[in-house]
A and B are shown apart, each in its own frame.
Chain A
């Protein structure tokens, strides 16, 4: 893997963080510069591009009709997929999704689903038979670390930008009409990822930091400041105290990131 960080560099990053500093001049609790652009793919029902430092993620949404799940006959369906596109990193290879892209998709999915961001009750066409299905496709275009936060932010930005076709029902068939209405949204979940190095927590680890952190914790926060999804990753651990501290930081950072979204 050409993305390997040399030991000298690892030590440098580690020592800086120990002293409360980071290689790129950020504080331990700072995000890199964030840019959000919404509505950049015209063919998609909704789209957004997020730049998190050099990390770049594009999300497009499509809406189709389909069958509801048997246990939620009155609700539309949400599905999230993530592609680690080979052009984004020398470490990504073409082929079926690996565990990293599956985990990424499921973390993004959980944040949206558990915060009930999409008003799925309004996506029902005919109970038990036909509903709208919202496809969220996460496309990682450049990998410079913290794909989770960039993807989650881009997904919500794309959903906020998504337009549903107007329709009427004739003889049980869906007939599309002219014009669009915005996708009904109830919440804007924000996912904040923290890395742990020794007894320090850092926000938004970038690629080289990702390779020396013991573990990461991704926390999704809804509009009320409540926690709606969590995922620990990596082969290290957190102490119970660090977990509580991490949720506090995540709640503060979520407020900051949510301001980047236009709704």
Chain B
């Protein structure tokens, strides 16, 4: 591992990658990138490169996993062996099992699961390159894949982290900031319903710092939401332009 930097914020208030404390990394999103999936999306969030695909709603296999009154969501978050500095074994780690669960639970509040009892959807997330904040970028992409599959949703779900590095609360931690920083607070958010669907934290924060981190993360979510919506509309835009002609 490379040496730990002593300071993560310089005298001018800029971070290692030149960002201001409340600045997001560049985000690029594309919807409908895989032809075999019912819905799909690709996101680049900083150096994170992540693909999400949705299959279904379809019959559950094995059948006894289906529920009589609602649709079942399954989610697999997985990191490619080459996505990190040292090769990651392709077998699912405990971290991946936990993240699969919290990502699923972040998306579930947005889906009208009661509409299609006895059926299921599978959400597959592949992290091709990781750079801190993969769970958040995964949620942003997976929500789009669900919408792209035509599955009815209450809202899109968008996610972003805030945290504390040196002595400041900052937005959207990249890899080094996440590892060396004081705390990390990933948040997933349904922007139109003002609802937090994922909240985790590690590190140490005072109650005030925590509150401002959550608020900052939500501001970040709102900015990414604009890009998310635009990406979804772009795929279906052809139709729209023709209408307006």
Judge A-B direct contact (beta carbons within 8 Å).
yes
List A residues at the B interface (Cβ < 8 Å): 70-71, 99, 102-103, 105-106, 110, 113-115, 215, 217, 222, 225-240, 243-244, 247-248, 251
> Is B210 close to A, CB under 8 A?
yes
Min CB distance B211 to A, Å, is: 6
> Is B231 close to A, CB under 8 A?
no
A235 cross-chain contacts in B, Cβ below 8 A: 105, 108-109
Verify A114–B94 contact, CB threshold 8 A.
Answer: no
Verify B101–A99 contact, CB threshold 8 A.
Answer: yes
Verify A70–B1 contact, CB threshold 8 A.
Answer: yes
Interface size counted on chain B using CB atoms at 8 A: 33
CB-CB contacts of B100-126 with A at 8 A, as 1s and 0s?
111001001100000000000000000
Verify A239–B196 contact, CB threshold 8 A.
Answer: yes
Could you tell me the distance between the alpha carbons of A115 and B182 in the complex, rounded to whole angstroms?
A: 11
Could you tell me the distance between the alpha carbons of A71 and B175 in the complex, rounded to whole angstroms?
A: 15
Min CB distance A96 to B, Å, is: 10
Could you tell me the distance between the alpha carbons of A71 and B85 in the complex, rounded to whole angstroms?
A: 13
> Is B22 close to A, CB under 8 A?
no
Verify B108–A238 contact, CB threshold 8 A.
Answer: no
Verify B102–A233 contact, CB threshold 8 A.
Answer: yes
Known contacts A114-B202, A226-B205, A228-B202: A237-B196 contact under CB 8 Å? yes
Chain A interface secondary structure, helix, strand, loop or mixed?
mixed
Known contacts A99-B97, A106-B98: A239-B194 contact under CB 8 Å? yes
Verify B1–A237 contact, CB threshold 8 A.
Answer: no
Min CB distance B115 to A, Å, is: 15
Known contacts A102-B98, A217-B199: A237-B204 contact under CB 8 Å? no
Could you tell me the distance between the alpha carbons of A235 and B190 in the complex, rounded to whole angstroms?
A: 13
List B residues at the A interface (Cβ < 8 Å): 1, 94-95, 97-98, 100-102, 105, 108-109, 185, 190, 193-207, 210-211, 214-215, 218
Verify B210–A247 contact, CB threshold 8 A.
Answer: yes
Min CB distance B233 to A, Å, is: 25
B185 cross-chain contacts in A, Cβ below 8 A: 230
Min CB distance B72 to A, Å, is: 11
Could you tell me the distance between the alpha carbons of A215 and B199 in the complex, rounded to whole angstroms?
A: 11
Count chain B CB atoms within 10 A of each CB in A215, A232, A248 and give the residue with the most: A232
Min CB distance A255 to B, Å, is: 14
Verify A236–B199 contact, CB threshold 8 A.
Answer: no
Known contacts A99-B101, A232-B105, A236-B109: A248-B202 contact under CB 8 Å? no
Count chain B CB atoms within 10 A of each CB in A235, A236, A237, A238 and give the residue with the most: A237
B200 cross-chain contacts in A, Cβ below 8 A: 230-232
Could you tell me the distance between the alpha carbons of A247 and B205 in the complex, rounded to whole angstroms?
A: 11
B196 contact from A226, A232, A247, Cβ within 8 A:
A232
Verify B215–A227 contact, CB threshold 8 A.
Answer: no
A104 and chain B: residue at smallest CB distance: B98
Min CB distance A249 to B, Å, is: 11
B206 cross-chain contacts in A, Cβ below 8 A: 226-227
Verify A229–B199 contact, CB threshold 8 A.
Answer: no
Selected A-B contacts with CB under 8 Å, 13 pairs = A70-B1, A102-B94, A217-B199, A227-B204, A230-B199, A230-B200, A231-B102, A231-B199, A232-B196, A237-B190, A240-B215, A244-B214, A247-B211
Verify A115–B196 contact, CB threshold 8 A.
Answer: no
Min CB distance A84 to B, Å, is: 14
